[in-house]
């Protein structure tokens, strides 16, 4: 299978200690380059703390999330959709991770032609179910025309509806935050890398709340269990500063 048949470009970045790269990474790189336009690169750091050898995977697809969703709903295998063939990548990753258990996948970011899908933390075991859930719920993420409030633009009028420009899976409801935090969009948020006090419950949390971003500088929260958009915003872990806890 050649790179044009898979329909995906792959970028994998990670931290390595000084110049000690992952054993077997060259075979992994060669295997991916047989099927994809790919970049696999370790960036040196000088600290053996957490995060070493954790993969951040970015995929660029030739198709839209709408097209991908239609294929899955029509019964096509999630890793074999035309224009988004994941099977060689997943096989290569499983082979490498089986030999190198110190390697983890922190985040997978998929750039479809119409939408960006971010899954963090990533789970091989639940990847297929997450993608199928996105396909099944995609139409429910449509934002109809009407009056809305954007934290950047204030009150806006949407003359026609639109689908998300980004979907973040999962996000979390932070219990015990004061009501004043609601105005700052910090009731719902992603996990932080440092000093995190939320204890995730996977796989249930993948199917709890999703963060949904639209091109009009507005965010919503999708309640998966209720299958509806909430009039709530959210913060990503990178930009969230937890309130003091006493």
Q: How confident is the model at residue 223 (pLDDT cuts 50, 70, 90)?
A: very high
- The yes-or-no verdict on residue 232 having pLDDT over 50 is yes
pLDDT digits (tens, 9 = 90+) for 17-58: 887 899 999 999 999 999 999 999 999 887 766 678 999 999
pLDDT of 59 > 80? The answer is yes
Q: What is the 3-state secondary structure (H, E, C) of the chain?
A: CCHHHHCEEEEEEEEEECCECCCCHHHHHHHHHCCCEEEEEEEEECCCCCCECEEEEEEEECCCHHHHHHHHHCCCCCCCECCECCHHHHHHHHHHHHHCCCCEEEEEEEECCCCEEEECCCCHHHHHHHHHHHHHHHHHHCECCEEEEECCCEEEEECCCECCCEEEEEEEECCCCCHHHHHHCCCEECCCCCCCCCCCCCCHHHHCEEEEEECCCEEEEEECCCCEEECCCEECHHHCCCCCCC
Does the pLDDT of residue 245 top 50, yes or no? no
pLDDT digits (tens, 9 = 90+) for 165-208: 999 999 998 765 555 544 554 589 888 877 777 888 999 999 99
> What residues does each domain of the chain span?
1-139, 142-246
Kindly report, residue by residue over 115-142, the tens digit of the pLDDT: 999 999 999 999 999 999 999 999 999 9
The residue with greater pLDDT, 154 or 112, is 112
Kindly report whether the global pTM for this prediction surpasses the value 0.85.
yes
pLDDT at 200: 87
Tell whether the model's pLDDT for residue 72 goes beyond 70: yes
* Mean predicted lDDT score pLDDT of the chain: 87
pLDDT band at 238 (very low <50, low <70, confident <90, very high): low
Specify the pLDDT at position 51.
Answer: 77
The per-residue pLDDT for 185 is 43
């Amino acid at each position: 299978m050649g790179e044009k048949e898979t329909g995906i470009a792959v970028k994998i970045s990670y931290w390595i200690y000084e110049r000690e790269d992952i054993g077997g990474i060259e075979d992994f790189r060669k295997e991916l380059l047989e099927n994809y336009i790919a970049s696999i690169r370790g960036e040196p750091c000088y600290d053996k703390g957490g995060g070493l050898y954790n993969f951040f995977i970015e995929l660029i697809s030739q198709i839209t999330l709408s097209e991908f969703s239609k294929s899955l709903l029509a019964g096509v295998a999630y890793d074999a959709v035309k224009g988004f063939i994941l099977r060689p990548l997943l096989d290569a990753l499983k082979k490498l991770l089986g030999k190198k258990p110190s390697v983890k996948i922190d985040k997978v970011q998929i750039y479809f032609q119409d939408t960006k899908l971010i899954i963090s933390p990533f789970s091989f075991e639940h990847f297929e179910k997450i993608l199928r859930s996105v396909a099944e719920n995609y139409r429910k993420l449509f934002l109809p025309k009407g009056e809305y409030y954007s934290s950047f633009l204030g009150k806006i009028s949407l003359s026609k509806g639109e689908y998300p420009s980004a979907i973040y899976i999962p996000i979390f409801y932070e219990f015990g935050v004061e009501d004043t935090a609601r105005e700052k969009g910090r009731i719902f948020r992603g996990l932080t890398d440092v000093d995190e006090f939320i204890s995730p419950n996977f796989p249930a949390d993948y199917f709890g709340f999703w963060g949904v971003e639209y091109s009009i500088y507005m965010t919503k929260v999708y309640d998966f269990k209720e299958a509806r958009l909430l009039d709530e915003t959210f913060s990503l872990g990178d930009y969230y500063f937890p309130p003091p806890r006493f």
